[in-house]
Homo-oligomer: A and B are copies of this chain.
Amino acid sequence: MNIGEIARRAGVSRSTVSYALSGKRPVSEKTRRRIQRVINEMGYQPNASARALARGETRALGMVFPPASSHYTDMQLAFIGGVVEAAGAHDYDVLMSPRGADVDASFQRLVGERRVDGVILMEIRLQDPRVERLRDTGFPFVTIGRTGNPEGTAWVDLDYLNLVRRCVRHLSDLGHHHLAFVNRSEKLLRSGYESARRGLDGFEVALQETGLTGTAYTCDDDAAAGERCVQQILSSQPEVTGIVTINEASLGGLYRGLADAGRKIPRDMSVTGISAERWAEAVTPALTAAAQPALEMGRIAIDLLLERMRTPEKPARHQLLTPRIVLRASTGPPPVLGE
């Protein structure tokens, strides 16, 4: 079933059918109705590939995401949900391509073969060759997260530095003096993963500002790693009374580790950080934390991207989010010495 067939049955030309559909040229009421009737009868829908070829646009947006060999974190997945939903609202589909290993191949396929009209990049590194590449080509794109030098690109990001800083302040205000910081994995940190890096920077800056002491730890993205991390913290720095974490996937293990060590939250140990609401509320006591507004970030990413696509001449915008810290039940004053 194609447009020619519809035209034949309606007794008009193909172009008239096309115009009746697009409305880009006036079509008399009676022919329009006749055409519409045939279309309904036949259940005709125009072929997307043909349309894309003729129009030069696919009405699809690309989403490039990490190799993620084993498992995705909640956050990554939530972004995807937000992006797909927001794109749908604008009548765009989302095309996902992992193509892991090869850094380029992933979006070379999406962009090079013109499968999509624009791209969203996640899991940004401070030095990210993909971003450089895209910036050079002029292809519309947006990053969730930002590089070390994001000028001239469109991005949406969480202000990890200041969020972590606020967490430290919060603990400082409560009277804590010795803190630990639970970061993402060693591997991610080393590879210049931006949120891990900026979170760490925030921790260090905050220590200086407040005069507190503290140490940063890296931790893999699972419960077992969280347990190990706590053990490490407790054994190497028994004086720690407050923990700041940006590793939500290890949160459950972190709590368990503390429980196993006989440390009650928040009586013996305060815990705070950045985490999706889902995780913050799943643990007991619920975590005082800044939320990852993943859905909203997805929405913003789409808005920025559509803007790039529609008005490429305008300078790229960005948005840095600093959600407030939601007080729940996991922080309190440090235990009184000798008690």
Contacts and interface: CB of A to CB of B under 8 A. Distances in A.
Interface of A: 43, 45-53, 58, 60, 68, 70-72, 74, 77-78, 80-81, 84-85, 88, 93-100, 108-110, 112-115, 222-224, 249, 251-253, 255-256, 259, 278-279, 281-284, 286, 295
Contact of A278 (B50, B60, B222): B222
A251 to B, nearest CB: 7
A224 B281 contact: yes
Contact of A95 (B60, B72, B100, B112): B60
* Tally of this chain's copies: 2
A206 to B, nearest CB: 27
Q: Tell me if A's interface is mostly helix, strand, loop or mixed.
A: helix
B282 A282 contact: yes
A252 B283 contact: yes
Given A49-B49, A94-B95, A252-B284, A81 B85 contact: no
Q: Closest 5 A-B residue pairs measured CB to CB?
A: A252-B282, A77-B77, A45-B112, A49-B52, A48-B113
Given A68-B85, A77-B72, A282-B251, A50 B53 contact: yes
A330 to B, nearest CB: 12
Given A85-B98, A96-B94, A97-B93, A223 B281 contact: yes
Contact of A71 (B58, B71, B72, B78): B78
A100 B84 CA distance: 11
Contacts of A52: 49, 52
A80 B78 contact: no
B108 A45 contact: yes
A47 B113 contact: yes
Contacts of A279: 282
Contacts of A95: 60, 93-96
A281 B71 CA distance: 15
A189 to B, nearest CB: 22
A82 to B, nearest CB: 9
A4 B203 CA distance: 57
Contacts of A68: 81, 85
A293 to B, nearest CB: 11
